[in-house]
Amino acid sequence: MATTRRIADPSFRASEALANDLQRVHVDLIDLHLQGKQAHWNVVGTNFRDLHLQLDEIIEAARLFSDDLAERMRAIYITPDGRAAAVAEQSSLPPFPEGEVDTTETVDMVTERLYAVCRTIREVHDAVDEADPTTADLFHGFLEKLEQFAWMVGAENRVANKTEPTPIHE
């Protein structure tokens, strides 16, 4: 008996432009996870334990977000590329230094990287939303959490009403 081959007719298939936008975010999230681990292993100094534990939260979120995005990419017929070479070549994040890093420097570098991922998401958001509002909904959740992390981590090095970013008062 001959087998019948069934061909799915997807309700939506991503464009190349959408695939490129999602890949940009995907590699940034993977790199955030990896750099977070590098910071986690090598941070030293004042408030070490609190920052060490907070980095675990950021790392776990970045890992989950990259996985959620990769699975969404597959659902709309995009093949995500999370290989080390792709991440190294495509990530918009600056490299994290090797060796021990003081807590104060780590706070600044992690905050910078969190905002870098947020910038990438915001840069592609409108095009993604136009092409696929479902994926844009994922981005909203990512931004909410990543910007909260950036605020919380960055607050460690701020001096109230003297260092940027100064809160807006009505």
Q: What is the tens place of the pLDDT at every residue in 7-63?
A: 767 777 889 999 999 999 999 999 999 999 999 999 999 999 999 999 999 999 999
Task: Report yes or no on 160 lying in a domain.
Answer: no
Structural domains counted in the chain? 1
Q: Which residue range forms the structural domain that includes residue 107?
A: 16-153
Answer yes or no: is 5 within a domain: no
If pLDDT is split at 50, 70 and 90, which confidence band does 166 have? low
In a domain, 166, yes or no: no
Domain of 84, CATH number, reads: 1.20.1260.10
Burial of 82 (0-12, 13-18, 19+ CB in 10 A): middle
Q: Would you say residue 3 lies in a domain?
A: no
Mean pLDDT computed over every residue of the chain: 93
Query: Within a domain: residue 164?
Result: no
Does 87 score more than 70 pLDDT? yes
Residue 119, pLDDT score:
97
pLDDT, greater one: 83 or 6:
83
